[in-house]
Amino acid sequence: MTAKGIHIEGLSKRYGEGDTAVLALKNVNMQVAPGEVVGLIGPSGSGKSTLLKCLGAVIDPTAGRMVLGNEVIFDDEWKVRDLRALRRDKIGFVFQAPYLIPFLDVTDNVALLPMLAGVGNDDARKRALELLTALDVQHRAKAMPSQLSGGEQQRVAIARGLVNRPPVILADEPTAPLDSVRAMSVIRILNDMARRFETAVIVVTHDEKIIPTFKRIYHIRDGVTHEEAGEGRSFE
């Protein structure tokens, strides 16, 4: 009954109980098709992170329905037993800061995810290298994260988000620390990868530089979303 990508219907999230309760998401509806990159934009405190956390299965939504790929993961309650495995296999995360593991080299930072999923070290590294090549950082494969530039680190982080071929990528302010050239290159990479791996991508951002690149944008304010067509400007 569902297509691939992300489907969110009537999602709400309440923090706390009684007088101090905060309704951070109110009946949110959202669709992202495979291969599509949508923007999620809103002022501070509007509920962007809460939405990512619900989708990322690190907090429990209060009510609603979430479908990833063709699997109903939440329908007023979790439908998946192992949320850890869900995160590992179905969701790629890209953060504002790259948060690479400082004691692993670039290859192993990326290969760690397939390894955690039980893939053998050699195969995992091969997969990591493919992605690093796709993202044009293969020449730094043996480097430690501290030896990379900010843009290189962010590309490695994207490679890590993609390496398990998840149907969904959640990116939280992925371009914030980057200048406009690098920011554009990250957006281009996300679009390329989304198309190539049929991944649905949600990018939370404030970044004026990249907002015009989205074809569709969800605005969120006080926990309520409404959809808008974006400019879909070329980023090449």
Partner 1 sequence: MISLAGRDILHAWGKFIFTGIGLGLLIGVTLTMAGVYRGMVDDGKVLLDNSGANLWVVQKDTLGPYAESSSIPDDLWRSIRTLPGVAEAANVTYLTMQVGRGEKDVRAMVVGIAAGEPGTSGWPPQLVAGRQITRGHYEAVADIATGFRLGDEVKIRRNHYTVVGLTRRMVSSSGDPMVFIPLKDAQEAQFLKDNDAILMQRRRTEANPAFNRPGVPGLLDAVIASQTSNNSVNAVLVRIQSEYSPQEVAEPIRRWKRLTVYDRAQMEEILVGKLIATSAKQIAMFLVILAVVSAAIVAFIIYTLTMDKIREIAVLKLIGTRNRTISGMILQQALVLGVIGFVVGKITATFAAPLFPKYVLLMPIDSILGFFAVMVICVLASVVAIRMALKVDPAEAIGG
Ligand X SMILES: Nc1ncnc2c1ncn2[C@@H]1O[C@H](COP(=O)(O)OP(=O)(O)O)[C@@H](O)[C@H]1O
The site for ligand X (CB under 6 A) is made up of: 15-16, 22, 24, 42, 44-50
Which letter does DSSP use for residue 213 in this model?
Answer: G
Nearer to partner 1, 124 or 134 (CB): 124
- For helices 121-134 and 106-116, give the axis angle rounded to 10 degrees: 130
Residue 20 interacting partner from Mg ion, ligand X, partner 1, none (CB closer than 5 to 8 Å by kind): none
Minimal distance in Å, beta carbon 77 to ligand X? 20
Are the CB atoms for 168 and 34 separated by under 8 Å? no
Instruction: Indicate which single residue of 72, 96, 130, 212 sits in contact with partner 1 (rule: CB under 8 A).
Output: 96
H/E segment holding residue 68: strand 63-68
Minimal distance in Å, beta carbon 11 to partner 1? 16
Radius of gyration of the chain (CA): 17
Using CB under 5 A as the binding rule, the residues of this chain from 49 to 68 that contact Mg ion are: 49
Contacts 24+ apart (CB under 8 A), 20-27: 23/223, 24/50, 24/223, 25/50, 25/51, 25/54, 25/61, 25/223, 26/222, 26/223, 26/224, 27/64, 27/224
Minimal distance in Å, beta carbon 62 to partner 1? 15
Give the alpha-carbon dihedral of 192, 181, 150, 48, to 10 degrees: -70
Using CB under 8 A as the binding rule, the residues of this chain from 106 to 125 that contact partner 1 are: 108, 112-113, 115-117, 121
Nearest-5° Cα angle at 165, 12 to 119? 120
Residue 46 interacting partner from partner 1, Mg ion, ligand X, none (CB closer than 5 to 8 Å by kind): ligand X
Using CB under 8 A as the binding rule, the residues of this chain from 19 to 78 that contact partner 1 are: 49, 52-53, 56, 58-59
Question: Under the rule (CB under 8 A), what is the footprint of partner 1?
Answer: 49, 52-53, 56, 58-59, 84-85, 87-89, 93, 95-96, 99, 101-104, 108, 112-113, 115-117, 121, 144, 160, 172
Question: Under the rule (CB under 5 A), what is the footprint of Mg ion?
Answer: 49
